[in-house]
Amino acid sequence: METQKIRKLLQQVADGGVSPDEAFGRLKTLPFEDLGFAKVDHHRAMRQGFPEVIFGQGKTAAQIARIAQAIYAQGAAVLVTRVSPEKAAEVKRLMPQLAHEPEARCLSAPAKQPPPPGKGKVAVVAAGTSDLPVALEAVLTAELMGSKVERVFDVGVSGLHRLLAAADVLRSASCFVVVAGMEGALPSVVAGLVDRPVVAVPTSIGYGAAFGGLAALLGMLNSCAPGLSVVNIDNGFGGGYLAGMIDHLG
Amino acid sequence: METQKIRKLLQQVADGGVSPDEAFGRLKTLPFEDLGFAKVDHHRAMRQGFPEVIFGQGKTAAQIARIAQAIYAQGAAVLVTRVSPEKAAEVKRLMPQLAHEPEARCLSAPAKQPPPPGKGKVAVVAAGTSDLPVALEAVLTAELMGSKVERVFDVGVSGLHRLLAAADVLRSASCFVVVAGMEGALPSVVAGLVDRPVVAVPTSIGYGAAFGGLAALLGMLNSCAPGLSVVNIDNGFGGGYLAGMIDHLG
Amino acid sequence: METQKIRKLLQQVADGGVSPDEAFGRLKTLPFEDLGFAKVDHHRAMRQGFPEVIFGQGKTAAQIARIAQAIYAQGAAVLVTRVSPEKAAEVKRLMPQLAHEPEARCLSAPAKQPPPPGKGKVAVVAAGTSDLPVALEAVLTAELMGSKVERVFDVGVSGLHRLLAAADVLRSASCFVVVAGMEGALPSVVAGLVDRPVVAVPTSIGYGAAFGGLAALLGMLNSCAPGLSVVNIDNGFGGGYLAGMIDHLG
Amino acid sequence: METQKIRKLLQQVADGGVSPDEAFGRLKTLPFEDLGFAKVDHHRAMRQGFPEVIFGQGKTAAQIARIAQAIYAQGAAVLVTRVSPEKAAEVKRLMPQLAHEPEARCLSAPAKQPPPPGKGKVAVVAAGTSDLPVALEAVLTAELMGSKVERVFDVGVSGLHRLLAAADVLRSASCFVVVAGMEGALPSVVAGLVDRPVVAVPTSIGYGAAFGGLAALLGMLNSCAPGLSVVNIDNGFGGGYLAGMIDHLG
Amino acid sequence: METQKIRKLLQQVADGGVSPDEAFGRLKTLPFEDLGFAKVDHHRAMRQGFPEVIFGQGKTAAQIARIAQAIYAQGAAVLVTRVSPEKAAEVKRLMPQLAHEPEARCLSAPAKQPPPPGKGKVAVVAAGTSDLPVALEAVLTAELMGSKVERVFDVGVSGLHRLLAAADVLRSASCFVVVAGMEGALPSVVAGLVDRPVVAVPTSIGYGAAFGGLAALLGMLNSCAPGLSVVNIDNGFGGGYLAGMIDHLG
Amino acid sequence: METQKIRKLLQQVADGGVSPDEAFGRLKTLPFEDLGFAKVDHHRAMRQGFPEVIFGQGKTAAQIARIAQAIYAQGAAVLVTRVSPEKAAEVKRLMPQLAHEPEARCLSAPAKQPPPPGKGKVAVVAAGTSDLPVALEAVLTAELMGSKVERVFDVGVSGLHRLLAAADVLRSASCFVVVAGMEGALPSVVAGLVDRPVVAVPTSIGYGAAFGGLAALLGMLNSCAPGLSVVNIDNGFGGGYLAGMIDHLG
Amino acid sequence: METQKIRKLLQQVADGGVSPDEAFGRLKTLPFEDLGFAKVDHHRAMRQGFPEVIFGQGKTAAQIARIAQAIYAQGAAVLVTRVSPEKAAEVKRLMPQLAHEPEARCLSAPAKQPPPPGKGKVAVVAAGTSDLPVALEAVLTAELMGSKVERVFDVGVSGLHRLLAAADVLRSASCFVVVAGMEGALPSVVAGLVDRPVVAVPTSIGYGAAFGGLAALLGMLNSCAPGLSVVNIDNGFGGGYLAGMIDHLG
Amino acid sequence: METQKIRKLLQQVADGGVSPDEAFGRLKTLPFEDLGFAKVDHHRAMRQGFPEVIFGQGKTAAQIARIAQAIYAQGAAVLVTRVSPEKAAEVKRLMPQLAHEPEARCLSAPAKQPPPPGKGKVAVVAAGTSDLPVALEAVLTAELMGSKVERVFDVGVSGLHRLLAAADVLRSASCFVVVAGMEGALPSVVAGLVDRPVVAVPTSIGYGAAFGGLAALLGMLNSCAPGLSVVNIDNGFGGGYLAGMIDHLG
């Protein structure tokens, strides 16, 4: 129920077309988001192509397909993350409209109406080849939101010159998603070179004292480079979503 | 050595005024940032009033005053965080230009030239009164950067109606800094209501299984609300800086 | 040996039918619970249908069936938790009286005599679809105890309006079991809306910094909403049992 | 704004006394809890004497007195926890109506109207003398809510016979708050003896591998005794509140 | 009530001097330990000089003196651990019978009747001078129990030859208490050299990744030397008590 | 080289049969244990039947059989722990002298000469049926060392009366191995009832906040019952070995 | 671009063959390492046979072979770590030049030109047989770098005499890699016996409170033996590389 | 007893001057280090000026002075770390030969005979000004060992150009000690630029999720830059000692 509908309902009460009691009943079951809060804007944004994500891990192919079809039917973009090749094949059999990106471990379909383009460019930077699945999840997410995405991959801190070789991208992107496992130092280095937001995504890549991404996570949280914030370990979607959102501001 | 100096040096080589060997020697000690990378943009931003932060804890009043004066002499904004009332008084005696905000535990001075205004408005939201020092550090940081800041304080999840009463702010801000200790649920709730970036700042407020902010930190990292990212525990400066940066984009 | 038996034994000593020495020997091996302590009430409660739980994980189908039959033979309710579909099928072949609820991963049989009904209604609230197995374990437990249970599922904090749409349940239940993984914020929100006991059940749902349910657990323990307490990660039985117990008080 | 007020407002619109636009304006600023949800019941309970707690640690005496007076002015019970003797004296100078219980580290004042009595009796059980401040905080909380409270103190698991000597209390209480530090085994033992809810409160008492209450907390969460749930380390208020709430059910 | 008393009670019932009902009433309140269980032996041991420990930390001098006097009045040995020099002086003013060992941070008084001597000799081995307070607490405990104690101090693993120089002690002791902080390797080395029980006591000595004794604790628990077991961090009393107990076996 | 050999070597030097230089060369490579230290006693003990343990996990059947045969050839007892049924069958094919105890997950063979009997009796107490493999590993170890072992199984703290029913064992054993997972409270309870050494063995049984045995381990380390010490999680061998060693003292 | 190329470029500017502007453009994209920093020396070292490591875990056989061939084509040594037997066979089919060392879980090929020999000798010391894969990875790494390597295996702290029997190696090696799991005490012991660098490599061998190598890691970090430093858990390559590097110094 | 003494003893046995039995008795008490093992070399090194460290924290001024004088009397270098200004003044009053470096929190005196100079140069690199005490402890240690030390301070990863400006030092040092707190990324960056050993020293500088240096420690352990190893948090002495040792090799 929209703000207009509340006004209209009150008008109907004033007009005598609806009794006070009946109006009260309707107001009582009024879903929260219809009170005219920001949520409405959010919904508008969603309709414009921001993907609704389906976390594929731990769901069956049938469950994934059912949810994906419901989203697809509304014309919204579909994004399924963390799907194994086998599950992806099974889902695609049930819903052939989805495209499969095996390296990103994602299935996706664009929104019916293309989303408004971003204001600038999102750079997704990844430290090692093992970090690519998480990085590509971020790439795909931001692209589904309408952002242009530049990839700067395999630029770990032990080979800084490769990062510096991407100076053009560093200079021009409006927002950065920096993905790294092990000691997780790359986001700090990038944030020290640029003056735009850096979304750091720790990954579970590593062994021993990496403790499943904890070392990278702590490293990023303790970065002394301003403009840097952190999302959950392996949360490529979260990084890409925030970057896409920032890229659409203004 | 600036970009212009490199050009000039090369010109001198072309002109024969400097031998190739001598030029090589000078280039070898060339500081990195002068190669025309993004760092230059960053410096430009700094000159425009982005504050350089001095972490006051563990520094003597004399050390703080000396660094602050160096920054102030360049015309840049000064921000000193985590200063006790006693230390603040001592620093102020040495450098009376600094203003003291005891609740934020900060000393500050604006840049000589006012920074460019932000594009919108930053909302700093805090869960409890004990979270205020961290929240006010974020407020002060964003304001020094030129952003307009709205305060929405004392709106913990156990009293959601107070948050909802701030619907106007939720609807209109371009970026949110949400500060909370204990279980740290407030950023999730805010991010579920708005469609703009939420910078979550966990605080060390709490006791027992709060483990110095760990519970709040983990809660925020695991939020399923997209658009949310996290900075270090009690890092009000980091939250305010990122929000101010986002507010100046576009 | 029951209280009556002790009285009878003492009577026999008084009557000379049993010598003091022989009576002493019997008393020495007297099981603790027969001394007339609260344990007796507990046993009475058990006979009234409170389920004795069999933790199925790590037990063979044969072991499960043997224990279940022993309980069943006493007329008590049987509840087996954490059984895989394969193991459940095997147990059912050995003991066809058990019903299998695959989503709850449980096998169960009601007590011979229906348990006394609860005083009110237990509400089991779950954040996400992945939390359902734990939530359904709680539902089944409370139902076996004789409580009426309302399900409020898929009402995570990122979509609060769905929770608020269940206002009738929130208003009418006598006790709440709130199941959530990831950041575990839902129990706090529910406890802020109601004034009856909320049993929070963290789940191991999540990834990365969820650390197998630790984030949710810490979040719930640090909740500032009074009336909330916590059981072990994934302990749906524990949540349902406590709620059923509270629902039978008075 | 109460349910009746909404009805009345709608009636006024129907009567023409209030224009639809003005009614809309009032509804828009309508605090959430007034929509007739369970919160209303909660408010009613609050008016009946359930204490609103002020966490004293980290607040100044002046801040505490100001909040306490606001609550007191509404006729509600006042409870301030974690106040040192010095701070308590200072608060009492500002607000002499408060009573100080130094062992419980609390200041309190009863509600203007005595709260409705509980249905039964709350038992607060504590393992060691060092656990007493937390236990007494629980006692005071439940008493302010109108519950009758029995104290069973100094009954650690290394001296079980002292616990068993309190068999009468174990048999008759409607709800238990069991407070223990170190290995935290006492709540398990109590929950194995009774068939009513046990709220376990771990304390930070101990040293070395007690890790500030972590050992006790984990022990309680892993208890295999059903009917037991846990609140935060040292959270005597939380334990007493939940017990008082359960004691008023039915 | 002693075993004999039960027999006597039963005899009185047989004699008709006590009615069965009255006997039942007495039996119902019968403290657990009087049933003739091992506890009785334990009490006997206590009377023979095994010290009852008073953990001094967090208790006032008055509280300590009151408990100590109660124990002393029964003729038992008194041991107060973790007392600062100031508190010790205050306690001694109240109870001059106590001896103060400042290095061990203990106050003590022997049992009225000397305890039976141990069967052999307890060796207390300490790695560094900072571990001495904990080691001396163990020494004092075992001595109060009647054991002969040999001290082997300052023999850390970085100077193994000093340990080997104590070969006579290693060869002749019946039980070892080995106290070490930092990496906690000493107990492993000792247990590899001897074939009698080694009680390992980790200490909180160290810094950084010692994490308050956690490193030493984990090292000792993971020792591959059989015959080694571990007590809590800094628990010199626990180590000395167990060693004294073993030394009295047989 | 044995003590006798050194004496003999020195005699040969005295006799002129061996030159001082040659003797020096032999002494320089002299293994440490031959210097007559306590190690020799340990070796003697080993020859008397104390088992040398082979940790089977992570070793191939061939490796296990090879090591086992080397020990067996010396006439010593053989104990292989943590072997799966499949691996056990394979090892037995290679070395049929080994007996397989599937519940204990062990293979074993007694020493050629029966070890000297223990002085008393070891009691192995286990909380739940899932703890049996660890408990049986302790039983087997102590029996191979020549100790008489009593089993007290399935006596968790939620059913204390079953423990108390074993009063005879509690009264008569010279040493206790108490095995428990989850909250690990059982060793505390046993140590509160007896006055002989209790070796606590935490197990990894449990889920959620059991954290693989950490909760049980911390609980046991924090026990306030004196005479209790702890070995590594699931270390049944370590518990049985220490108990057997204590049982042979005196 | 090499140092020579910069000199040449500058010469061309001096010669007029390249304009200053064009030279500036080329310099701007100049990779970092070409500025004549230490990196160049590093590259020289690499060409001399220092292995470039390929972490095999999580890479497909095809990916491994492709990277290995690229390194091999440059004449450098190839080292692939953490490859299962199956994957190793597959890689060897694609690239038969690689040698497989199954115990070390490595594939390798020497550099085309043999690396310069080390100055002394590297000793790789391992505590238990389960630590061998990590130790052998260190051996292979140092050997590929041209160092002579001595193996001292199976010398855990519970059998120190075996370590002491290797006195010749302890006396003569220039650097030590000491590999140990469980309590990780061996590096401390070795560092107490020698006065040359000891690189400690904790392994994930152990169970229970070993916590995947954490206990060994903490033990090594807390060693009081100077000259000892630590690399990541199971990082045999890191240990061998550092030792080989030290062995080539001077 | 030295190697020569053993030879002499054996000669005396051969000569008949000492009986075999008496010789055996002397050999049995033979301290380990006298067997001619590497320990002797270590002692030689110590006499050559390697400092023996006294950890000052937790020791009284009198204890420090007594140990320092014993070392000084042998002509060895003295180094006392972690001394507060007050304690340093007190120690100096007792032993005026010691020099006080307040920034390094150290007291020291050189060896009577200057130690042999290092082969090259040690570089001590520190990230922030707060890391200076730890870095200066490393500087002082290496200097006392005779190494030439270069300081490269205040070169955190957020200002890489300052590090690169120290290219000469990076190119010429034989070993690096790199000190950093917070995210601890600096050692990785340095190790990526040089091909000589890097000893990483994490510091406890930071707040929140720095967890007392844990974040820096984990970051350094997970570095993918080879040639890097780690010592304990804040262990400047350990870093300087290892670097000095490496600098003296060859």
Q: Considering only CA atoms, which of E228, E239, E175 is closest in space to residue E203?
A: E239
- In this predicted model, which residue has the larger pLDDT, A215 or C58? A215
Q: What band does F89 get if pLDDT is binned at 50, 70 and 90?
A: very high
| 3-state secondary structure (DSSP) of residue A164 | helix
Dist CA F85 CA F101 (whole Å): 9
All partners of chain G with 3 or more CB pairs under 8 angstroms: A, B, E, F, H
Phi-psi category of G146—alpha, beta or left, where left has phi over 0 and alpha has psi -120 to 50?
left
The answer to whether residues H71 and H99 touch, using CB atoms and an 8 Å cutoff, is no
**Does residue A237 sit at the B interface (CB-CB below 8 Å)?**
yes
Bigger pLDDT: E19 vs H165: E19
Instruction: Give CA angle at C21 (C18, C25), nearest 5°.
Output: 95
The residue that leads in pLDDT, A30 or F25, is F25
Window from C33-37, E14-18, E175-179 with minimum mean pLDDT: C33-37
CB contact under 8 A, F63 and G129: yes
Q: Between these two residues, H193 and F236, which has the higher pLDDT value?
A: F236
Residue A233 to residue C130, Cβ atoms within 8 A = no
Q: Which residues touch H65 (CB under 8 Å, ≥6 apart)?
A: H91, H94, H95
All residues of chain B having their beta carbon less than 8 Å from the beta carbon of residue G13 are 10, 13-14, 20, 23
The larger pLDDT score, comparing residue A32 to residue H130, is at H130
Q: From CA F158, how far away is CA H201, in angstroms rounded?
A: 49
- pLDDT averaged over every residue in chain E: 83
Q: Does F245 touch chain E (CB under 8 A)?
A: yes
Q: Which helix (H) or strand (E) holds F27?
A: helix F20-28
Q: What is the reported pLDDT for F35? A: 33
- The number of residues in chain G equals 250
Cα separation, D129 vs D44, in Å, equals 37
Per the model's pLDDT, the better-predicted residue between H24 and E212 turns out to be E212
**C5 band by pLDDT with thresholds 50, 70 and 90:** low
Which residues in chain F are closer than 8 Å to C213, comparing Cβ atoms? 208-209
Is D16 at the interface with chain A, CB within 8 A? yes
Compute the mean pLDDT over every residue in chain C, rounded to the nearest whole number. 83
Query: For the residues G182-191, what does the mean pLDDT come to?
Result: 87
Nearest to B249 among A45, A199, A249 (CB): A249
Percent of chain B predicted with pLDDT > 70 = 82
pLDDT band at G137 (very low <50, low <70, confident <90, very high): very high
Return the pLDDT at B160: 61
Compute CA B167 distance to the chain's CA centroid, rounded to the nearest angstrom.
26
> Do residue H196 and residue G249 have CB atoms under 8 angstroms apart?
yes
Q: Which one of G16, G24, G30 has the shortest CB-CB distance to B7?
A: G24
| Comparison of pLDDT for B91 and A75, the residue scoring more | B91
pLDDT, mean of residues F102-130: 91
pLDDT tier at G101, thresholds 50, 70, 90: very high
pLDDT-derived band at B185, boundaries 50, 70, 90: confident
CB contact under 8 A, F20 and H36: no
So what's the pLDDT on residue D122? 97
Please indicate if any CB of chain C lies within 8 Å of the CB of D217: yes
- Chains linked to H by 3 or more Cβ pairs within 8 Å: A, B, E, F, G
pLDDT (tens, 9 = 90+) of chain H, 250 residues, equals: 345 666 777 788 888 888 877 776 666 544 333 333 333 333 334 434 466 688 888 788 998 998 888 888 878 889 999 999 999 999 999 999 999 999 999 999 998 888 889 999 999 999 888 899 999 999 999 999 999 999 998 776 555 666 766 777 888 899 999 999 988 888 988 887 788 999 999 999 999 999 999 999 999 999 878 899 999 999 999 999 999 999 998 6
Q: What is the pLDDT of residues D110-144, one digit of tens each?
A: 988 888 899 999 999 998 888 999 999 999 999 99
Which residue type sits at C162?
R
Question: Number of Cβ pairs closer than 8 Å across C and E?
Answer: 46
Higher pLDDT, C194 or B187: B187
G16 in contact with chain B, both atoms CB, cutoff 8 A: yes
Say if the Cβ atoms of A212 and C207 lie within 8 Å: no
The tokens for D247 are 């004691």
pLDDT value, residue A189: 82
Domain ranges for chain B, please list them: 31-109, 122-249
G64 closest CA partner among G12, G109, G113, G104: G109
Query: What is d(CA G183, CA G213) in angstroms, rounded to the nearest whole number?
Result: 9
Task: Render pLDDT for G204-213 as a digit per residue (tens, 0 to 9).
Answer: 999 999 999 9
* Average pLDDT, rounded, for chain A: 83
**Spatial contact of B230 and B242, defined as CB atoms under 8 Å apart:** no
pLDDT digits (tens, 9 = 90+) for C150-193: 999 887 655 566 676 777 788 889 999 999 998 888 998 888 77
Give the distance from residue F17's alpha carbon to the nearest chain E alpha carbon, in angstroms: 31
Burial A188-226 (b: 16+ CB within 10 A, else e): bbbbbbbbbbbbbbbbbbbbbbbbbbbbbbbbbbbbbbb
C165 touches chain A (CB under 8 A): yes
Q: Say if A250 is an interface residue toward chain G (CB within 8 Å).
A: no
Cα–Cα distance, B198 to B180 (Å, whole number):
13
Pairing status of strand G52-55 against strand B228-230: unpaired
Strand ranges for H1-42 from DSSP E: none
- What mean pLDDT do residues C40-63 have? 64
Cβ-defined contact of A41 to B197 (cutoff 8 Å): no
Bridge partner list, C230:
C200, D230
Nearest CB to H31: which of E129, E161, E210?
E161
Task: Tell me the mean pLDDT in the region C79-106.
Answer: 96
Cβ contact E147:E247 at 8 Å: yes
Chain B contact present for H167, CB below 8 A = yes
Residue identified by tokens 């059984």 is: C83
F-chain CB neighbours of E230 within 8 Å are: 221, 229-231
Q: Please report the ipTM that was assigned to this predicted complex.
A: 0.83
With CB atoms and an 8 Å threshold, state whether B161 touches D33: yes
CB within 8 Å of H174: residues ≥ 6 apart: G249, H118, H119, H120, H121, H122, H196, H246, H247
Q: What value does the CA radius of gyration of chain G take, rounded to a whole number of Å? A: 22
Residue contact B214–C216, C-beta within 8 A: no
Q: How many CB pairs under 8 A join A and D?
A: 44
pLDDT, greater one: F14 or C176: C176
Residue D226 has pLDDT above 90, yes or no: no
Average pLDDT, chain B: 83
DSSP secondary structure, chain B, as one string: --HHHHHHHHHHHHHTSS-HHHHHHHHHT--GGGGSSHHHHHHHHHHTTPPEEEE-TTS-HHHHHHHHHHHHHTT--EEEES--HHHHHHHHHH-TT-EEEGGGTEEEE--SSPPPPPSS-EEEEESSGGGHHHHHHHHHHHHHTT--EEEEES--GGGHHHHHTTHHHHHH-SEEEEEE-TT--HHHHHHHH-SS-EEEEE-----GGGGGGHHHHHHHHT---TTEEE--TT-HHHHHHHHHHHHT--
Tens of pLDDT, residue by residue over B92-141, are 999 999 999 999 999 999 988 888 899 999 999 998 888 999 999 999 99
In chain E, which residues have their Cβ closer than 8 Å to the Cβ of G214? 218
Closest B-chain CA to G32: B32
Which residue, H144, H82, H153, is CA-closest to H123? H153
Given a cut of 50, whether residue C225 has pLDDT beyond it is yes
CA dihedral sign, ordered A130, A133, A137, A139: positive
The candidate with the shortest Cα–Cα distance to A226, out of A197, A202, A186, A185, is: A197
Q: How confident is the model at residue A126 (pLDDT cuts 50, 70, 90)?
A: very high
Amino acid at G46: M
SS (H, E, C) B86-111: HHHHHHHHHCCCCEEEHHHCEEEECC
Sheet holding E99-101, edge to edge: E52-55, E78-81, E106-109, E99-101
CB atoms near residue A80 (< 10 Å): 27
pLDDT at G40: 31
Nearest to D157 among F156, F182, F188 (CB): F188
Q: Tell me how far CA of residue A228 lies from CA of A195, B228, H63, in angstroms.
A: 10, 13, 48
Residue for token pair 């009234």: C48
G208 touching F (Cβ < 8 Å): yes
Residues of C in contact with D42 (CB under 8 A): 193-195
User: Greater confidence, G79 or E73?
Assistant: G79
Length of chain H: 250
Chain G residues with beta carbon closer than 8 angstroms to that of F232? 207-210
3-state secondary structure of C99: strand
What rounded mean pLDDT belongs to chain G? 83
User: pLDDT higher for F43 or F201?
Assistant: F201
Chains E and B lie in contact, requiring 3 or more CB pairs less than 8 Å apart = no
Average pLDDT over residues G149-163: 75
Which residues does chain E have within 8 Å of residue D205's beta carbon, measured at their own beta carbons? Answer: 58
E140 near G CB under 8 A: no
Quote the minimal CA–CA distance from F245 to chain G in Å. 17
pLDDT at B157: 59
Q: Give the model confidence (pLDDT) of D50-91 as tens digits.
A: 666 888 887 889 989 988 998 888 788 899 999 999 999 999
Question: Chains D and F: how many Cβ contacts under 8 Å?
Answer: 110
For the cut 50, the answer to whether the pLDDT of residue B31 exceeds it is no
CB C47 within 8 A of CB C80: no
In terms of Cβ atoms closer than 10 Å to its own Cβ (0-12, 13-18, 19+), residue A176 is buried
Q: Which of A158, A111, A151, A122 shows the shortest CA–CA distance to A245?
A: A122
Look at the block and give the residue holding tokens 């050595």: B1
F167–C contact, CB cutoff 8 A: yes
pLDDT of residue B3 exceeding 60: no
The dihedrals phi and psi of B169, each to the nearest 5 degrees, come to -65, -45
Q: What confidence score (pLDDT) does residue C75 get? A: 82
Query: Is the pLDDT reported for residue C40 higher than 60?
Result: no
Q: DSSP 3-state assignment of E220?
A: helix
- Give the dihedral sign, CA E239/E240/E241/E246: positive
Q: Do chains H and C touch (3 or more CB pairs under 8 A)?
A: no
Instruction: Read off the pLDDT of residues A173-185 as tens digits, 9 standing for 90 and up.
Output: 999 999 999 888 8
Protein fold of B122-249: Rossmann fold (3.40.50)
**Of residues G129 and H26, more confidently modeled:** G129
Whether the CB of B69 is below 8 Å from some CB of chain H: the reply is: no
Hey, are the CB atoms on E189 and G189 less than 8 Å from each other?
Answer: yes
Q: What integer pLDDT is reported at residue D44 of this predicted model? A: 37
* Chain C: partners with 3+ C-beta pairs within 8 Å: A, B, D, E, F
Lowest mean pLDDT among B63-72, G2-11, G46-55: G46-55
Indicate if the alpha-carbon torsion angle G136, G137, G141, G142 is positive or negative: negative
The pLDDT confidence band at residue A3, using thresholds 50, 70 and 90, is low
Touching subunits for chain F (3+ Cβ pairs under 8 A): C, D, E, G, H
CB pairs under 8 A, 24+ apart, for D99-104?
A: D101/D136, D101/D140, D103/D132, D103/D133, D103/D136, D104/D133, D104/D136, D104/D137, D104/D139, D104/D140, D104/D236
Name the residue of chain H whose CA is nearest to G46's CA: H195
Q: CA A79 → CA A109, A237, H195, distances in Å? A: 7, 9, 45
- What is the band of G29 on the pLDDT scale with cuts at 50, 70, 90? very low
> What percentage of chain G exceeds 70 in pLDDT?
82
F219 vs D contacts (CB less than 8 Å): 183-185, 215, 218-219
Mean pLDDT of the region B7-14: 80
**What's the pLDDT score for residue C107?**
97
| Contacts C19 to E, Cβ<8 Å | 14
Nearest CA in chain H to B32: H161
pLDDT of residue E191: 87
pTM of the shown model:
0.85
